[in-house]
Amino acid sequence: MKLLQMADPVRYPTMTTAELRSTFLLEELFTPGELTLAYVDLDRAVVGGCIPTSAPLTLETQPELRADFFCQRRELGVFNVGGKGTVTVDGVNYELDKLDTLYIGRGSKAVSFASVDAATPAAYYLLSYPAHAEYPVALAKFATLTPVNLGAQETCNKRSIYKAIHLEGVRSCQLVMGFTLLDSGSIWNTMPPHTHMRRSEIYFYFDVDPVHRVLHLMGPPDATSHIVMKDKEVVVSPGWSIHAGVGTKNYGFCWGMGGENQDYADMDPAPVVDLR
Ligand SMILES: O=C[C@H](O)[C@@H](O)CC(=O)C(=O)O
Ligand SMILES: [Zn+2]
């Protein structure tokens, strides 16, 4: 597994574009016919991408985990941004349409991913954190989620927030996971931004038009930087960093968090006028 090692707020202001990218950004997680994982030292997240084509792909344990099977000591969230697929957990099949989320609890032994049609393959985004407790496998279908509608057309940030794995939905040990869809003509996410020292957060941008980009904003509110991102890329946000973005067109992103608490509303606002 590729290892991403975080920078701290002291090293951060000295970093070049290339250093910011190699430290906070994960590119090329999604390759047809492959399952790719990366380890992030921050809150010990494992992030992955998986596009099964003609044959299913199995979630193998990794040498770095020193575990008998991947979920021996971890839980896993799976979010499909591609065509219809099937995820099999210990012999039980779960059908995932686009935007469906599957929670796989600690102790699940055999996990594999398949596409229903190799011509329109599923594309699974994977996010895993250590877990001290077992919660049951559960599927959060997009169609059953009630969005929170935020923003306005006037401020180009009209969007719908769907919480899938959280305190009032599918339960987990520490993972909190959901996604946000921007309306046509809206481009700003999470503005005004916030930090939350209790949790680190990982953004996975999807449905980014190939000729468009998202400028992801990070850093302390008084010293922001940006990372230019394309479709199906992942960016890591330490607790001291804001995480917001602006696209050259609308897009979607999956947000996931691990850490001290699971309280979605526990945010320290960073007012727009204070940003530097
Ligand atoms: O801690 C929560 C996260 O940053 C996101 O859920 C924010 C978000 O999706 C949005 O405002 O568009
Ligand atoms: Zn956040």
Query: Nearest ligand to the C-alpha of residue 245?
Result: 1
- Residue 235's SS3 state is strand
Name the closest-CA residue to atom 9, ligand 1.
180
Q: What is the pLDDT of residue 159?
A: 98
73: which 2 tokens? 């000591």
Q: Do the annotations mark residue 194 as ligand-binding? A: yes
Query: Nearest ligand to the C-alpha of residue 151?
Result: 1
Q: What is the pLDDT of residue 226?
A: 98
Q: What is the pLDDT of residue 144?
A: 98
Ligand 1 pocket, residue 190 CB under 6 Å: yes
Q: What is the pLDDT of residue 201?
A: 98
Q: What is the pLDDT of residue 26?
A: 98
Name the closest-CA residue to atom 1, ligand 1.
264
Q: What is the pLDDT of residue 269?
A: 98
Amino acid at site 241: S
Q: Give the Cα separation of 107 and 73 in Å (integer).
A: 7
**pLDDT tens per residue across span 165-198:** 999 999 999 999 999 999 999 999 999 999 999 9
Domains: count for the chain: 1
Ligand 1 pocket, residue 201 CB under 6 Å: yes
Q: What is the pLDDT of residue 30?
A: 98
Residue 178 and residue 163 in contact, taking contact as beta carbons nearer than 8 Å? yes
**Mean pLDDT of all residues in the chain?**
98
Low-confidence ranges of the chain (pLDDT < 50): none
The domain in which residue 188 lies consists of 2-274
Q: What is the CA(87)–ligand 2 centre distance, in A?
A: 28
Q: What is the pLDDT of residue 184?
A: 98
Q: What is the pLDDT of residue 239?
A: 97
DSSP 42: G
Amino acid at site 13: P
pTM attached to this predicted model: 0.98
CATH number at residue 124: 2.60.120.10
Q: What is the pLDDT of residue 13?
A: 97
Q: Is the ipTM of this complex over 0.90?
A: yes
Residue 206 and residue 234 in contact, taking contact as beta carbons nearer than 8 Å? no
Query: Which residue, 102, 133, 103, 109, is CA-closest to 61?
Result: 109
Q: Name the one residue in this structure whose structure tokens are 């796989």.
A: 104
- Probe ligand 1: pick from 149, 158, 197, 255, max atoms within 8 Å of CB? 255
Q: What is the CA(255)–ligand 1 centre distance, in A?
A: 7
Q: What is the pLDDT of residue 45?
A: 98
Query: Nearest ligand to the C-alpha of residue 157?
Result: 1
Q: What is the pLDDT of residue 243?
A: 98
Q: What is the pLDDT of residue 127?
A: 99
Name the closest-CA residue to atom 11, ligand 1.
190
Q: Name the one residue in this structure whose structure tokens are 């190699």.
A: 22
Q: Do the annotations mark residue 34 as ligand-binding? A: no
